[in-house]
Amino acid sequence: MALSNSSYSTRSISLVMFASLAGLGLWLFAPFGLGGSLGGGESAPSQLPALIQVDGPVVTEANGDDLVGLVVPISVRGNDSIDLAGAKLRAETALAETALAAVPAGFDIEWTAGNSDLVLDPGEQAVLNVELPANSSVRTDNPLDLVFVPVGGPTLIIEDVLSR
């Protein structure tokens, strides 16, 4: 049985399929690779967002080994203000090298220098009073991060609060 030449070349069909897959791949991943301007009000990667920093010694309140309260002096590191209105706070701790725990925390803010609104501006100083649940997994000898989740904007982390 002899093979007959077909009227359509498989080479051209293969090239068309490859080009369409390459175009689809570029369309899906091009926003991550282009160096153009960012849309939607995002800041450029060269500008770091404002961060909350610890601005003095941290006072802890413990019930045995359980940490139940913190008094953390805070300020802004950067040139932008941080809106804390409606923000949620959680405490994250490392129980072991491979085990982490997060517990919700209540907080209020006392202003020591500034205009006493719920926006922490550069140059303002405040005291963050943190209340933790009585039977939580947060211990005085474990590292502790405080994580703010504001209504709008990026998540803000105060790292290793107890070592300050």
Q: What is the DSSP string of 97-149?
A: SS-EEEEEEEEEEEEEES--SSEE-TT-EEEEEEE--TT-S-BTTS-EEEEEE
pLDDT at 46: 46
- Kindly report the backbone phi and psi dihedral angles of residue 125, in degrees, each rounded to the nearest multiple of 5, phi listed first: -125, 140
Question: Virtual CA dihedral for 72, 78, 81, 82, nearest 10 degrees?
Answer: -50
**Secondary element (H or E) of residue 103:** strand 100-113
Token code pair at residue 114? 């500034």
Give the separation between CA 94 and CA 86, rounded to whole angstroms.
27
Classify domain 51-163 at the CATH class level.
mainly beta
Q: Where along the chain do its domains lie?
A: 51-163
Per-residue pLDDT of the chain (164 residues; tens, 9 = 90+): 556 666 666 787 888 888 998 888 877 776 554 444 444 445 444 455 678 889 999 999 998 888 999 999 999 888 888 888 889 999 999 888 888 889 999 999 998 887 878 888 888 999 999 999 888 888 888 889 999 888 877 888 888 888 86
pLDDT at 61: 92
pLDDT at 89: 93
pTM higher than 0.85 for the full model? no
Where b means 16+ CB within 10 Å and e means fewer, 136-164 reads: bbbbeeeebbbbbeeeeeeebebeebbee
Give the separation between CA 123 and CA 52, rounded to whole angstroms.
12
